[in-house]
Amino acid sequence: MQTSDTMASESSHQLRLPVTAIDPIVNNKIEEIDRCPQCECLLKFSAPEVPNQICRSCGYVIGTEAPVGSIEEITENEDVETDQSWSEFYAITNSTEKQVAAAFEEIESVAEDLYLTPELREQAADVYAEASRENLTDGRPTTLVVGAAICIGTREVEQPRPTERVASKLDIDSDRIKQMIRQFQAELTRGYVELSPTAYVGYLCEEAALPEQIKSQAEQLIDTVTESEVFSNTAVHPVGITGAAIYMVSSGELTQRRIATLTGVSQETIRQRVSDFQEAMDS
C-alpha cells in the first residue's frame, strides 16, 4: 500500500510538463503573478484555457497537493513508481488539451525504446506544437503525427532516428510517416535537413549496446570512403550506409539481419552498401 508521501512524490514527479510546448497551443494570455512555490521563480502564469496555473520555469502545476521542495528532495527516492500519465494529475477541459495530452504521452511511450533524451522529447513536442498551431493535427491519428514529429525533431538536432524504427515502435506504417513528414516539410518548412550517415551512428550503436570504440571506427570509416564516386548517388539513404559501416567494423559481433532490424532497411540493402564500401576501399 502506498503511503501519502510516496503518492505525493509520484504526483510531483509527473507534474513537470513540457510547458514550452504547451504554451503556444493552449495559452494566449500570459500573466506574471507571485512566485512559484516549487522553484520560486517569478514565471508562474494563469490562463482561462488552463484549469491550473503552471510554472513556466519548472513545469510545476500550482494548486495540486504535491509537496514543495527541491527537485533533488522530490526525486531522492528512486523506488517511486512513475507509470502514471501526467494527464491523471492535470484536468483536461477541451479537445485541444486532450489531443496535446495524448501526443505527449505517445512521445513518452517510445522515449525509452528510441533513446530519446529529455531534450529530444522536448524537440519532438515542439514540432508537434507547431503542427497543432497550423491545424495539421486535425483529423489525423495522433500516433501518426507524433511519429513524424519525432523524426523531424531528432533530425533538426542531428540526432536522427530511422523512420522505419520510429514506425515500428509506434506500430504504424512507415510510408504513412514519410508522407506526413513531407507534409510537415511543405507546410511548416521544417525537416529539410541533409544528414551525414555519421549522424545515425550514435543511436544505432547505443541500441546495439556497442562500445565507444566501434562507434569511433564506424564514423572514421564513413568519413574515409563516402566522398568517393561509389557513394555519389544521392538516392542512397544514409542510414543504410551507417548500418553497413557498423557491420564492417564490428568484426562479426552483429549479423546483417540484426543490422537490418536496427536500421529498418532490408538485408539486401545492407549487403549492397557493404559491397559499396569494399569497392570504395579497393579504389
Q: Residue 209: its pLDDT value, please?
A: 92
Q: What is the mean pLDDT of residues 88-112?
A: 74
Flag whether pLDDT at 4 surpasses 80: no
Say whether pLDDT at 47 is over 60. no
* Correct CATH for 94-193 of 3.40.710.10, 1.10.150.120, 1.10.472.10, 3.40.50.970: 1.10.472.10
The partner residues of 81 in beta bridges, in order of sequence, read none
Comparing CA positions, the residue from 34, 31, 25 lying closest to residue 47 is 31
Q: Which one-letter amino acid corresponds to residue 104? A: F
Residue tagged 510517416 (cell numbers): 177
Q: Where in the chain is the domain with CATH 1.10.472.10?
A: 94-193, 197-282
Fold of domain 197-282: Cyclin A; domain 1 (1.10.472)
| Distance from C-alpha of 251 to C-alpha of 235, rounded to nearest angstrom | 28
pLDDT for 72: 46
- Whether the Cβ atoms of residue 62 and residue 52 lie closer than 8 Å to each other: yes
Nearest to 203 by CA among 195, 215, 193: 215
How confident is the model at residue 211, as a pLDDT? 92
- Provide the grid cell at 249: 567494423
pLDDT of residue 78: 44
Chain segment 137-155, per-residue pLDDT in tens = 888 999 999 999 999 999 9
Predicted TM-score (pTM) of the model is: 0.66
What is the spatial distance between Cα 124 and Cα 127, in angstroms, rounded to a whole number? 5
Residue 238 CA to residue 180 CA, distance in Å, equals 20
Q: Any alpha helices (H) in 193-250, and if so which ranges?
A: 201-207, 212-225, 238-249
Q: What distances in angstroms separate CA 41 from CA 19, 37, 56, 58, 189, one per listed residue? A: 15, 8, 9, 9, 35
Measured distance CA(243)–CA(164) in Å, rounded: 13
The pLDDT of 77-89, averaged and rounded, is: 46
Between 282 and 233, whose confidence is greater? 282
Separation CA 271–CA 247 (nearest Å): 10
- Contact between 164 and 265 (Cβ < 8 Å): yes
